[in-house]
């Protein structure tokens, strides 16, 4: 499907390696941003999905997406231009790793659906594989950059495979980010946790984290009420 249609925007992904997926939609629907936040940063914006979700959910904010891949950045620009949120979203084609140390802007929230494959690239010309390969955005670099760019009490929201959850919590602890809430995501009730959603806060005050659990399906293409409620502002059929 080259064009993925949501209730309030569409994503043309015909030229993009990473297509619209459940992970991105979940993060864009679940991440909690303070009403005081005036600017949101999306690291690894891809085709613009999460930027558009953030703009839809938080109508007083400005959103900046940073994307290193030229084709994805171009697609994001086109998707945003064709939406009703174009006046509040900007896309920067740049590598976050080299961009953030010199960035003087500060953000009320940082969101990211980062690459998570750790094995060596099988094909350096395979755009989809490269888009998912963590060597191009190491987890510790993402956390360090987010912590630097956030205002005090700003939030950092991310989705990762369950296997990376411990690594993330170890890294965030060393950068002044306290876990506020997290959500264990399962495909079905009888399957293992496969993803974890996290909301961190930049603060020196201790926080007792709130644990949530989300199950996506009861059966194939039969979705739980919780999943439908969470994603209903976006999916056409919910």
Is 238 domain-assigned? no
Look at residue 120 and tell me whether its pLDDT is greater than 50. Answer: no
pLDDT band at 135 (very low <50, low <70, confident <90, very high): low
Q: What is the pLDDT of residue 187?
A: 97
pLDDT band at 15 (very low <50, low <70, confident <90, very high): confident
Is 18 domain-assigned? yes
Is 182 domain-assigned? yes
Q: What is the pLDDT of residue 18?
A: 80
Under 8 Å between Cβ of 112 and 142:
yes
For the chain, percent of residues with pLDDT exceeding 90: 85
Look at residue 117 and tell me whether its pLDDT is greater than 70. Answer: no
Average pLDDT of 188-210? 96
Beta strands in 26-149 (DSSP E): 39-43, 62-67, 89-93, 107-112
Is 154 domain-assigned? yes
Look at residue 121 and tell me whether its pLDDT is greater than 60. Answer: no
Residue 105, burial from CB neighbour count under 10 angstroms (0-12, 13-18, 19+): exposed
Secondary structure (3-state) at 107:
strand
Whole-number mean pLDDT of the chain? 92
Is 236 domain-assigned? no
Look at the chain and report how many structural domains it folds into: 1
pLDDT tens, residue by residue, 25-44: 999 999 999 988 999 999 99
β partners of residue 89: 63
Look at residue 119 and tell me whether its pLDDT is greater than 50. Answer: no
Is 132 domain-assigned? yes
Q: What is the pLDDT of residue 213?
A: 98
Look at residue 126 and tell me whether its pLDDT is greater than 70. Answer: no
Average pLDDT of 201-214? 96
Average pLDDT of 199-212? 96
pLDDT tens, residue by residue, 148-184: 999 999 999 999 999 999 999 999 999 999 999 999 9
In eight-state DSSP terms, residue 117 is: B
Domain with 184, as residue range(s), is 3-231
pTM attached to this predicted model:
0.91
What's 24's domain CATH number? 3.40.50.150
Is 226 domain-assigned? yes
């Amino acid at each position: 499907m080259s064009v993925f249609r949501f209730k309030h925007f569409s994503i043309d992904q015909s030229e993009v390696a990473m297509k619209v997926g459940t992970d991105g939609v979940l993060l864009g629907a679940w991440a909690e941003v303070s009403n005081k936040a005036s600017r949101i940063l999306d690291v690894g914006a891809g085709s613009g999905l999460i930027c558009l979700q953030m703009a839809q959910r938080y109508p007083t904010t400005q959103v900046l997406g940073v994307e290193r891949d030229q084709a994805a950045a171009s697609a994001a620009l086109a998707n945003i231009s064709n939406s009703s949120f174009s006046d509040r979203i900007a896309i920067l084609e740049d590598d976050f790793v080299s961009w953030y140390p010199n960035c003087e802007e500060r953000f009320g929230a940082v969101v990211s659906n980062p690459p998570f494959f750790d094995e060596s690239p099988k094909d350096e010309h395979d755009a989809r594989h490269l888009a998912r390969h963590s060597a191009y955005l190491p987890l510790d670099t993402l956390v360090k950059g987010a912590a630097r760019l956030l205002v005090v009490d700003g939030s950092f929201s991310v989705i990762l495979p369950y296997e990376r959850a411990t690594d993330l919590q170890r890294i965030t602890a060393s950068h002044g980010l306290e876990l506020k809430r997290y959500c264990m995501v399962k495909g079905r009730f009888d399957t293992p946790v496969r993803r974890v959603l996290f909301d961190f806060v930049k603060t020196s005050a201790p926080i007792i984290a709130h644990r949530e659990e989300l199950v996506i399906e009861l059966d194939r293409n039969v979705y739980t009420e919780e999943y439908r409620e969470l994603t209903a502002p976006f999916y056409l059929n919910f």
